[in-house]
Amino acid sequence: MIPLSWYLALAAILFCIGVCGFLTRRNVIIMFLSIELMLNGVNLNLVALSHFLDSVRGQAFTFFIITVAAAEAAIGLGIAIALYRSRRSVHVDTINHLKG
Amino acid sequence: MFLQLFFGYCALMIVVSGLLAISLRNPVHCVLMVLVLFFHMAGLYLTLNAEFLAAVQIIVYAGAILVLYLFVLFLVSLREELHLTAFVPNAWLGRIIAAGLAVGLIATIPAFSLGEKSAWTVAAIREATHTKALGQELYTSYLLPFEIAGLILLVALIGGLVLARRDENGADAPESGADGKEVLR
């Protein structure tokens, strides 16, 4: 039997890898990928807790999180494509159009 | 013993491929590393008696989401990557923040204690089969969130279509962006 704390530690490490990627990388797509890593860390936490609490609740939440992750990927990548299309020469330190 | 070895293998692969995914230069390699990571996550779900979620993890994450990422990577040409300014001025600052967060989170784990147990023991789930147990819970206690999840997917579908649509009148997007700015002024 694997103790719960192992799962929690692994989930925490995975989440922090995601945070690190999000903070340090500058490529938009890798930033989205880092968000997926963070969501996976949370998913692992939820599934582990739901197993150790004899409940299906955490797994239901994980199901919803996967749904939201799919939606997030679709919208985020759509934005990335629109961004790329609107400025072909993308050295986009210049994405500041919303600054007014 | 076998379970612990399996967990150790999966954990090692997850950490290594996660670190590689955020540090490799080529974005395609990053996505492939995340693919490896997702497969090992599915393995961990199997050790937690969550067979349905392991399947969903592979089908949805590895099969759909990562393929979407790869498509976009090939659409947006690799030479000219989309760059944003990073949230922290220095990469090392970001790494230190993440490491501090990890240390803080892991340090709090020993203080954690489990709450009350619920009715779905391993034996009960095994008797009902996992998919049926999850389905019962989804369609009774979580019916409203389930509907909302459907709505979110619909919004994502429409949003993706609208965002990726080409302008029919052939106007270049930069010009229309500039026009919009002019109007705002």
Residue B162 lies in a domain: no
Residues 30-89 of A with CB under 8 A from B: 30-34, 36-37, 40, 43-44, 47-57, 59-60, 62-64, 66-75, 77-89
Residue B47 lies in a domain: yes
Runs of H (alpha helix) within B76-172: 91-108, 122-128, 130-140, 143-164
Question: Does residue B122 carry a pLDDT above 90?
Answer: no
Residue B69 lies in a domain: yes
Question: Does residue B124 carry a pLDDT above 90?
Answer: no
Residue B96 lies in a domain: no
Contact B37, B14 (CB under 8 A): yes
Give the rounded percent of residues in chain A with a pLDDT score beyond 70: 86
Residue B22 lies in a domain: yes
What residues in A contact B160, CB-CB < 8 Å?
74-75, 77-78
Are the beta carbons of B84 and A86 separated by less than 8 Å? no
Dihedrals phi, psi of B50, to nearest 5 degrees: -115, 70
Residue B142 lies in a domain: no
Contact A54, B119 (CB under 8 A): yes
Q: Tell me how far apart the alpha carbons of residues A63 and B127 are, in angstroms, rounded to a whole number.
A: 21
Which long-range contacts (C-beta less than 8 Å, at least 24 apart) are formed by B51-55?
A: B51/B130, B51/B131, B52/A59, B52/B130, B52/B131, B52/B134, B53/A47, B53/A59, B53/A62, B53/A63, B53/B134
Here the CATH number for the domain that contains residue B20 is: 1.20.120.1200
Question: pTM of this prediction?
Answer: 0.84
Dihedral sign of CA atoms B159, B161, B164, B168 in order: negative
Non-local CB neighbours of A72 within 8 Å, separated by 6+ positions: A32, A35, B156
Q: What region does B85 belong to: left with phi over 0, alpha with psi -120 to 50, or beta?
A: beta
Distance from CA of A94 to the nearest CA of B (A): 8
Residue of B nearest to A98 (CA): B181
Question: Does residue B81 carry a pLDDT above 50?
Answer: yes
Question: Does residue B86 carry a pLDDT above 80?
Answer: no
Are the beta carbons of A67 and B174 separated by less than 8 Å? no
Averaged pLDDT, groups of 10, chain A, 100 residues long: 90 94 87 92 93 89 92 88 69 57
Residue B41 lies in a domain: yes
Residue of A nearest to B5 (CA): A2
Residue B146 lies in a domain: no
* Domain A4-99 class in CATH: mainly alpha
Distance from CA of B71 to the nearest CA of A (A): 10
> What domain range is B22 assigned to?
1-83
Average pLDDT, chain B: 83
Distance between start and end Cα atoms, chain A: 58
Contact B33, B84 (CB under 8 A): no
List, as one string, the DSSP characters of B20-89.
Answer: HHHH-SSHHHHHHHHHHHHHHHHHHHHHTT-HHHHHHIIIIIIIIIHHHHHHHHHHS-SSS--B---SSS
Total domain count, chain B: 1
Non-local CB neighbours of B72 within 8 Å, separated by 6+ positions: A29, A77, A80, A81
